[in-house]
Amino acid sequence: MNLLPLGLNIQGRRAVVVGGGPVAARRVAALLAAGAEVVVVAPFACEDIADAAAAARLTWLVRDYAAGDLEDAWLAFSATGSPQVDARVAADADAARVWCAKGGDSRNSRVWTPAVAEADGVQISVNAGGDPRRAVAIRNAVASQLDSGELPLRRHRRSGQPGSVALVGGGPGDAGLITTRGRRLLAQADVVVADRLGPRGLLDELAPEVQIIEVGKTPGHHPVPQHEINRILVEQALLGNRVVRLKGGDPYVLGRGGEEADHCRAHGVPVEIVPGVTSAVSVPAAAGIPVTHRGVAKSFSVLTGHEEIGTVPPGTDHTVVLLMGVSRLRDTAAALLAAGRPADCPVGIVEDGYGPGQRVTTGTLVTIAAKAEAVGVKSPAVIVVGDVVRLSPHYE
């Protein structure tokens, strides 16, 4: 059957639903969401319809269908389960020139109800030749791709709405470890302010017109200082852009996300925080090192340097995770020894976690600095100190 696909603006228009079962309830819910003036004709109705009637969201005529019930209607749905009643409603609708979806008889229906997926103002309607299960299966597949950001959701026309900023935690770098929400926001972005770490491969999937602003930092080298990053985020959002600040790990775990969020809010820019898989936990896991393990360690601390070493428990059953600590490794190891950790306390270093250059170096507090220097350990790397390192298959 040839169909003309259309989007129907039925806000404020009367729509009549004949029937009160689950199918009718689904039609009612869609009509109410579209702003229609809904009239239900049925001697009995399921709870959803009854509740909506009690809340005065629709009119329920508690009786069988009768001639004249389609008067002033713009659209009708017949879902009584009775072929005779549904045929009568469809015939009356034809006579009154009212478009009618005839339940259970798609071949003789003037209107087909599609399976619908929605995301960020995009609505996908699927008809499958009268096969509703097939339509739903296709709809679900499309909806999954919309949610995951695999389909291009970016707007190409300005909506007139103000811009916004999303601080997206990209995880340790593997494109498969960003959250679904983060991937979707990337697909919608006009501007991406990107770190050196994080899922860089996803940038290659963006449309050519998406502006990518590089603000990556390396140890001891910050070509774009934090106050300038803050300014860029606000400036781009005030231009009406959807801005994604793509960060490695989690924005709120030693990522200065709180500062960026505060700056955006202080300038009236809406900001959303999308958590990510922090490298403090995920990178050790890539090397088979759990930060906690029953009978081995039940707590852990995440630090960025040796200055805080005196604040953590000295026992090897408390895991210490060091971020950005390669350049101060010798000093940090000495500080841990001075704070009471035993000389044979295991240490593991995981470079480029989940990346093509992932490498694991293990040793003890006494030997690790020399081993790291010998093999040329470089950032990005996560250092783990504690008994849990022995659980790694790389531990020697």
Calculate what percentage of the chain has a pLDDT beyond 70. 96
| pLDDT tens digits, 311-328 | 888 899 999 999 988 999
- Count of CB atoms situated within 10 Å of the CB of 89: 28
CATH classification of the domain holding 36:
3.40.50.720
Residue 91 has what pLDDT?
95
Report the domain count for the chain. 4
* Pair (299, 382) in one structural domain: yes
Is position 98 within any domain? yes
* Pair (172, 269) in one structural domain: yes
Selection from 58-72, 152-166, 191-205, 308-322 with the highest mean pLDDT:
58-72
Low-confidence winner among 21-25, 154-158, 364-368 (lowest mean pLDDT): 154-158
Residue 281 has what pLDDT?
94
* Pair (314, 266) in one structural domain: no
- In DSSP notation, 47-111 reads HHHHHHHHTTSSEEE-S---TTTTTT-SEEEE--S-HHHHHHHHHHHHHTT-EEEETT-GGG-S-
* Pair (258, 288) in one structural domain: no
Is position 158 within any domain? no
CATH classification of the domain holding 262:
3.40.1010.10
Look over the chain and give the mean of its residue pLDDT values, rounded to a whole number.
91
Residue 153 has what pLDDT?
75
Residue 340 tokens, joined: 């009471």
Low-confidence winner among 102-106, 177-181, 238-242, 322-326 (lowest mean pLDDT): 102-106
Residue 151 has what pLDDT?
77
Residue 338 tokens, joined: 């001075």
Mean pLDDT of 115-139: 84
Calculate what percentage of the chain has a pLDDT beyond 90. 68
| CA-atom Rg of the chain in angstroms | 30
Residue 129 has what pLDDT?
78
Residue 158 has pLDDT above 70, yes or no: no
Instruction: Return the higher-pLDDT residue of 263 and 130.
Output: 263
Q: Go through the chain and tell me how many residues it has.
A: 396
- Count of CB atoms situated within 10 Å of the CB of 146: 20
Is position 157 within any domain? no
CATH classification of the domain holding 357:
3.30.950.10
Cα–Cα distance measured from residue 287 to residue 395, given in angstroms and rounded to the nearest whole number? 10
Residue 50 has what pLDDT?
96
Is position 396 within any domain? no
Residue 396 has pLDDT above 90, yes or no: no
The CA distances from residue 267 to 194, 271, 300, in Å, are 21, 11, 37
* Pair (40, 88) in one structural domain: yes
Residue 267 has pLDDT above 90, yes or no: yes
Domain that holds residue 358: 281-391
For the annotated catalytic residues, the residue numbers are 195, 217
* Pair (189, 207) in one structural domain: yes
Instruction: Return the higher-pLDDT residue of 37 and 204.
Output: 37
Residue 1 has what pLDDT?
60
8 A C-beta contact, residue 195 and residue 222: no
Q: Greatest CA span in the chain, whole angstroms?
A: 92
Residue 275 has pLDDT above 80, yes or no: yes
Is position 68 within any domain? yes
The CA distances from residue 92 to 79, 104, 145, in Å, are 15, 17, 41
For residues 312-341, b (16+ Cβ closer than 10 Å) or e, as one string?
A: bebebebbbbbbbbbebbeebbbbbbeeeb
Among residues 245, 277, 309, the one where a domain terminates is 277
* Pair (334, 265) in one structural domain: no
Instruction: Return the higher-pLDDT residue of 169 and 109.
Output: 169
The CA distances from residue 235 to 209, 242, 257, 260, in Å, are 18, 11, 17, 13
Residue 100 has pLDDT above 80, yes or no: yes
Give residue for tokens 């319809």.
49
Q: Place 160 in a pLDDT band, splitting at 50, 70 and 90.
A: low
Is position 154 within any domain? no
The CA distances from residue 82 to 23, 99, 105, in Å, are 13, 19, 11
8 A C-beta contact, residue 15 and residue 35: no
